[in-house]
Amino acid sequence: MKKLAQFKWPILFAVIGIALNIGAVVSLVDAFGNSGTPILAPGETKVIIAKPGDYTLWHETKTMIDGQFKTFPDDLPSEATIKVLKQPEGTSVQLRRSGSSSVESNGTRRISLGQLTFTSPGAYKVIVLGLPEKHLLYLDEAKFVKAFLSVMICGGFGILFLFAALGSGIFVLTQRSKGGR
């Protein structure tokens, strides 16, 4: 037991490093999970926002609609309009166009149309007009920056703790060999 006690710091550093790296992986997996709301357009869709914050509105350019695989251009037609209204007040939520990003997973491809900031939880109505055929949009919490920071911080510190575990373990071993124990 005394020999094992000499390795208390390397073991502690290793456990902390592993825990931080697990946190980084979980955050990364969570960022790519489907937790949003599909919106069939054109038309009106009621969405419930559980927690205020920044959200991304995506356009699915490769997707299944009514059992058929559909492919659309990245940009919506110029006559398409999107409005988001807080219910029941009718207060408008601004869709901020931003540089487009894309995500592709399991045969579905999404292109970001822009960002929305919901200041309070509750019911909202998404109104999409001007589309000649059915399109699928997807509203999801903006998770990339949070996930990126979590992976960089947790993963970075996790690796540092693993190196500290390795270094302190080597130090303990060299001290034991010098001491003749």
Is residue 179 over pLDDT 90? no
Chain segment 73-107, per-residue pLDDT in tens: 888 888 999 999 999 988 999 999 877 787 777 78
133 sits in which H/E element: none
In this prediction, residues 64-73 reach a mean pLDDT of 87
Is residue 1 over pLDDT 70? no
CA distances 94 to 13, 57, 85, Å, are 47, 12, 9
Average pLDDT value over all residues in the chain: 86
Q: How far apart are CA 132 and CA 39, in angstroms?
A: 16
13 pLDDT tier (thresholds 50, 70, 90)? very high
3-state secondary structure 139-162: EEECCHHHHHHHHHHHHHHHHHHH
Q: Report the range of poorest mean pLDDT among 3-12, 25-34, 86-95.
A: 25-34
57 sits in which H/E element: strand 53-65
Q: Extract long-range pairs of 154-158: CB within 8 Å, 24+ residues apart.
A: 154/20, 154/21, 154/23, 154/24, 154/27, 155/20, 155/21, 155/24, 157/17, 157/20, 158/16, 158/17, 158/18, 158/19, 158/20, 158/21, 158/23, 158/24
The pLDDT of residue 33 is 63
Q: How far apart are CA 33 and CA 99, in angstroms?
A: 22
The pLDDT of residue 48 is 92
Indicate yes or no: pTM above 0.85: no
Q: Which of 3, 18, 10 is CA-nearest to residue 157? A: 18
Chain segment 91-149, per-residue pLDDT in tens: 999 999 877 787 777 788 888 898 999 999 999 999 999 998 898 898 988 766 676 78
Strands 135-141, 81-86: pairing kind:
unpaired
Is residue 180 over pLDDT 60? no
Cis amide prior to 10 (ω within 30 degrees): no
Domain spans in the chain, listed from the N-terminal domain onward = 2-176
Give me 81's structure tokens: 């309009």
- How many percent of the chain have pLDDT more than 70? 93
